[in-house]
Amino acid sequence: MLAKISEFIFGGTRGFNETENRLLSFLMDSLPAQEREILSRQLLSVRLVQRQNPGKLVVAYSKSGSEVPQLPYPGDEYCLANVTYKSGGRTKTTSLVLHNGRFMAFERNVPQSLSEIEAPSSVVLHPKGFKSVAQEIDAQEHGEPSE
């Protein structure tokens, strides 16, 4: 009951939807075993998922505490992978982003239904030159130019 009240107050859900889980499964299939285990434990600790900008940004919040292991990739917005898939005959890419070694967000093209993912194309781990789109999305929401 308390969890439902919290979801109502803070918005979001207690876990990922089937579309987000599908993207995560593509990632999990590409990770080395040790990292897959750590990420799996992190995903089990997620307590709230907010779809702050549907189609562009989904943020996951984990339980606090040191019992959840971290991946060895520090930084506020570290792109762990770009997942590319076919959608409506077009190629789209979703970035899966860490915050201080913990899974935090889906960024860019975030499909909202399973029917939007026709077929996975590729998973690129640790893409070079990743620049977070969080500021860009925020600027779009508020009608301000991004930096």
How many angstroms separate the CA atoms of 141 and 133, rounded? 12
pLDDT at 137: 64
pLDDT tier at 43, thresholds 50, 70, 90: very high
Instruction: Output the six-digit token pair for 106.
Output: 């889906």
pLDDT at 42: 94
Q: Are 76 and 88 in contact (CB under 8 A)?
A: no
pLDDT tier at 45, thresholds 50, 70, 90: very high
Query: What does the pLDDT average to over 5-20?
Result: 73
Q: Give 58's strand partners.
A: 106
Has residue 24 got a pLDDT over 60?
A: yes
pLDDT at 62: 87
How many angstroms separate the CA atoms of 11 and 42, rounded? 21
- Comparing CA positions, the residue from 12, 22, 6, 5 lying closest to residue 116 is 22
- Cα of first residue to Cα of last residue in the chain, in angstroms, is 43
Is the model more confident about 142 or about 104?
104
Q: Are 111 and 57 in contact (CB under 8 A)?
A: no
pLDDT at 93: 96
Has residue 131 got a pLDDT over 70?
A: no
